[in-house]
Structure 1
Amino acid sequence: MHLSEATWTDAASVDTDLAILPVGSTEQHGPHAPLGTDALTAAAVADAGATAFDGEVVVAPTIPVGVAEEHRRFAGTLWVSPDTFRANVRETVQSLAHHGWDRVVVVNGHGGNVDPLREVCATISRTDDAYAVPFTWFDSVDAPDMGHGGPEETSLVQHLDADLVREDRLDEAAEGAADGWGEWVSGVNLAYDSDEFSENGTVGDPREASAERGERLLDDASEALAALLAAVRDRDLS
């Protein structure tokens, strides 16, 4: 059940303590992919995982702004501080738990959210009346070319809504892309912002993307999420 589509009476009748909270980002993904890529993909994986799951689960609305200041030089990027992001996630989970959905999987689509999510889910589970775990979809699948606005993310967006990918800008995106994330010396990334190493914000070659590849990624991520949902549902929290 999607809370954004349900009435309060629908929500009151749900017999489950399990919920999904998608979180993403609104940030640049090169000249070819939409600013909402991370929120769009997180929501899609959440939906597909809920469908694949053998049981009932509540799906909360997506949190669309995350920890993304590293993309601040590119127009349209929005961000909040890690503290604000953690507070938003924590208080949303507390709201879910208030209604009895106190086992929460936070489905994430943005790399900058990973560390804050691990921290806040630990805090929730240790001190609040809820249990929460983070699930970053691209860490659950075989995505060696993940990059940023690269072939993996571009493929998934092409599968979800091909019109959102500007096919006529793929060459431009590839020509201005970095091969990898950051400037590394002695195990240290010298760059803090993405424009320091990528001319147009892209990392990886999005010309290698395809809708078929995106479909496979979504299938694999949804299966992984369904397995995690089952583990969270069955976990002994006593």
Structure 2
Amino acid sequence: MHLSDATWTDADSVDTDLALLPVGSTEQHGPHAPLGTDVETATAVAEAASEAYDGEVVVAPAIPVGIAEEHRHFSGTLWVSPDTFRSYVRETVASLAYHGWDRVVVVNGHGGNVPALGEVCATICRHDAANAVPYTWFEGVGDQRHDMGHGGPLETALLRWVEPDLIREDRIDEAREGAAERWGEWVSRVNLAVDSAEFTENGVVGDPEEGSKERGEELLALASAALVELLAAIEGRDLTGPERR
């Protein structure tokens, strides 16, 4: 059940303690993919997993703005501080838990959110009346995760499958020509670049042409299957905390 489409009486009748909270970003993804790419992909994976799961799962509305200041040089990019982001996620999980949906997977579509999500989910588990686990969809697709890039093969492929009208196909060549081969500027295993504009001309990393619709179908299947497996583990997990040693 997706909360955005449900009435409060629909929500009241749901017998589950499982919830999915998609989080993304509103940020540049090159000239060919929308600013809302990370929200669209996270939501698509969450909805696919909720449909495939053998049991009821609540899907919350996505959090659309994340930690994305690294893309600030590209118009339309929005961002909040890590503190604001962590607070928003924590309080949203708390409101889900208030209604009994206290086992929450935060389904993430943006790499810049990862450190803060790890921190806030640990805080929730330790101190709140809820259990929260972060899941980043492009980490759940096996070896294909190495092709992630930015506005590159994986994101382009998944959007071509779930929301094909959002890809500006007539700008793919432009996206390829201005793309970087890899994320960052690395020396001695240290990334010297702070912002993406330092190493990519148009915001793209990787070749979006390698992101076919068929690949997108496979990515959605892999990412949602991994999420279903995670939901099953969380539903059956004993959440009683360990005793102090």
TM range (shorter): over 0.9
Partner of residue 180, structure 2: 178
Partner of residue 228, structure 1: 230
Matched residues in 1 for 2:183 and 2:208: separation? Answer: 15
**5 Å matches for 1:137-148?**
137-142=137-142, 143=144, 144-148=146-150
Q: Structure 2: 5+ residue runs without aligned partners?
A: 241-245
Provide TM-score, normalisation by structure 1: 0.99
- SS across alignment from 1:5: coil
> 1:146: how far off?
0.8
- SS across alignment from 1:39: helix
Matched residues in 1 for 2:56 and 2:8: separation? Answer: 17
Partner of residue 219, structure 1: 221
Partner of residue 204, structure 1: 206
What is the percent sequence identity of the aligned residues? 74
Matched residues in 2 for 1:206 and 1:72: separation? Answer: 22
Provide TM-score, normalisation by structure 2: 0.96
Partner of residue 243, structure 2: none
> 1:208: how far off?
1.2
Matched residues in 2 for 1:94 and 1:150: separation? Answer: 35
**5 Å matches for 1:142-181?**
142=142, 143=144, 144-181=146-183
Matched residues in 2 for 1:34 and 1:184: separation? Answer: 28
AA aligned to 2:58 is: V
Are 2:89 and 1:89 equivalent residues in the alignment? yes
1:155-212 deviation per Cα after TM superposition (whole angstroms, max 9, x unaligned): 0001012111111111111111000000001111000100000000000011111111
Partner of residue 126, structure 2: 126
Partner of residue 136, structure 1: 136
AA aligned to 1:45 is: V
Q: Once superposed, what is the RMSD of the aligned Cα atoms?
A: 0.6
- SS across alignment from 2:228: helix
Matched pairs, number: 238
Runs of 4+ in 1 over 2 A off after TM superposition: none
Matched residues in 2 for 1:92 and 1:66: separation? Answer: 14
1:123-155 deviation per Cα after TM superposition (whole angstroms, max 9, x unaligned): 000000000000000001132211000011000
Q: Structure 1: 5+ residue runs without aligned partners?
A: none
